[in-house]
Amino acid sequence: MSEGLIVVVAILVFVVITIAKGVRIIPQGEEWIVERLGKYQETLKPGLRIIIPYIDNVAYKLVTKDIILDVQEQEVITLDNAVILANAVAFVKVTDPVKAVYGVTDFAEAIRNLIMTTLRSIIGEMELDQALSSRDKIKARLRESIADEAVDWGLTVKSVEIQDINPSQSMQKAMEMQAAAERERKAMVTKAEGEKQSAILEADARLESAKRDANAQVMLAEASAEAIRRVTKAIGTETAPVYYMLGERYVQALQALGESGNAKLVVLPGDIREALKGLFSQARN
C-alpha cells in the first residue's frame, strides 16, 4: 500500500472520528452536561446536537424523568423511647442539571440520606402510638422539610411515601404483653362489675323480701286484731264462748301433735282432764 493511500485512509478515519465526537444525539428524557477544557459549557437538550470535537466533552448524562429512590429501613427512637423500624420511597425529578451535578457529589445518595435523617428527626418528636397512626402527617412534614434542600441540588421532590413503619421485634413483644395485660385487666374489671351487680341484685331481692314479709306480718297483725275485735263484739260480756273456743283449740292442737309423722312420743299434761272439765264447766255456767 502506497504512502498516499495510507494518508487518505488516515484522514478518512480522523474525519469519521471527529464527526462522531462532534455530533451527539440526545434521547428524550435525558440532558447532557458538556464541559469545555474542564469547565461547564452548556446543557444539551434531547435531539441532534453539535459540539466541538476534542475540546468539548460530555461529562454527565442525566435522566430528567422521575427517579425512584428507595430509602433503606432504619431504626428510629420515638419521644417515649420506643424503637420502631421505618423506610420510605421518594420520587424526585432533576429540574436543574447543572445544580444536580455541580451542587452535590451524588444527588441520589444525598437526597436519600437527607430523607433518612429528616425521618428520624420527625418521628423522634412523636410518641409511639402517634408515630404508628400518623403516616400521612409524617409524609407531609418529610416532603416539606426536604423541599428547600432539594431545590438547591436542582431537584424537585414529587412525593415521599412511607412504606413501612412498625415497632421493632422487642417492642412488638412488649406491646403484645401489654395488650395481654390490658385484656386481663378488662376481664377482671368485667368480672368484678358482674359480681357487684349480682351482689346489688341479691341485696335488692333481700330488701324486697324483707319489705314483703314486714307487710305480710302487718297485714296478719291487722287481720288478727280485726278478728279479735269482731269476736269481742260478738261475745260481749259472756265468758262461756271464750272458754269453749279455747278448749276446742286445745284439743285440736293435741290431735295434730299426735298425727304428726315426726312425733314418736306424745306428752300430755297430767291435769288434762281437770283442765277440760274446768273449761266445759265454765262453758255451762
- Same domain for 72 and 162? yes
Task: Please tell me the distance from the alpha carbon of residue 24 to that of residue 46, in angstroms, as a whole number.
Answer: 10
Q: Are strands 83-94 and 47-50 parallel, antiparallel or unpaired?
A: unpaired
Structural domain total, the chain: 4
- Same domain for 71 and 47? no
What CATH number does the domain containing 79 carry?
3.30.479.30
Locate cell 259472756: which residue?
A: 238
- Same domain for 73 and 31? no
Residue 9 is predicted with a pLDDT of 80
Task: Please tell me the distance from the alpha carbon of residue 20 to that of residue 35, in angstroms, as a whole number.
Answer: 17
- Same domain for 162 and 93? yes
Condensed to tens digits (0 to 9), the pLDDT of residues 206-237 reads 888 888 888 888 888 777 777 777 766 766 66
- Same domain for 178 and 245? no
Residue 155 phi/psi, 5° resolution?
-120, 155
Q: Which residues of the chain register pLDDT less than 70?
A: 1-2, 170-176, 178, 231-232, 234-251, 253-254, 257-285
- Domain end point (choices 44, 63, 82): 63
Task: Please tell me the distance from the alpha carbon of residue 131 to that of residue 73, in angstroms, as a whole number.
Answer: 16
Residue 263 is predicted with a pLDDT of 53
Residue 265 is predicted with a pLDDT of 57
- Same domain for 30 and 86? no
- Same domain for 54 and 73? no
Residue 131 is predicted with a pLDDT of 83
Residues paired with residue 70 on neighbouring β-strands, in sequence order: 89
- Same domain for 176 and 219? yes
Q: Residue 140, CB half-sphere, CA atoms under 13 Å: how many?
A: 4
105 by Cβ neighbours in 10 Å (0-12 / 13-18 / 19+) ranks as exposed
Task: Please tell me the distance from the alpha carbon of residue 165 to that of residue 133, in angstroms, as a whole number.
Answer: 9
- Same domain for 224 and 241? no
Residue 141 is predicted with a pLDDT of 87
- Same domain for 211 and 185? yes
- Domain end point (choices 167, 191, 214): 167
The residue range of the domain holding 34 is 3-63
- Same domain for 81 and 160? yes
Task: Please tell me the distance from the alpha carbon of residue 227 to that of residue 243, in angstroms, as a whole number.
Answer: 17
- Same domain for 19 and 78? no
- The backbone region for 73, taken as left when phi is positive above 0, alpha when psi lies in -120 to 50, beta otherwise, is beta
pTM: 0.56
Residue 171 is predicted with a pLDDT of 66
Residues paired with residue 259 on neighbouring β-strands, in sequence order: none
Locate cell 412498625: which residue?
A: 166
- Domain end point (choices 231, 247, 269): 231
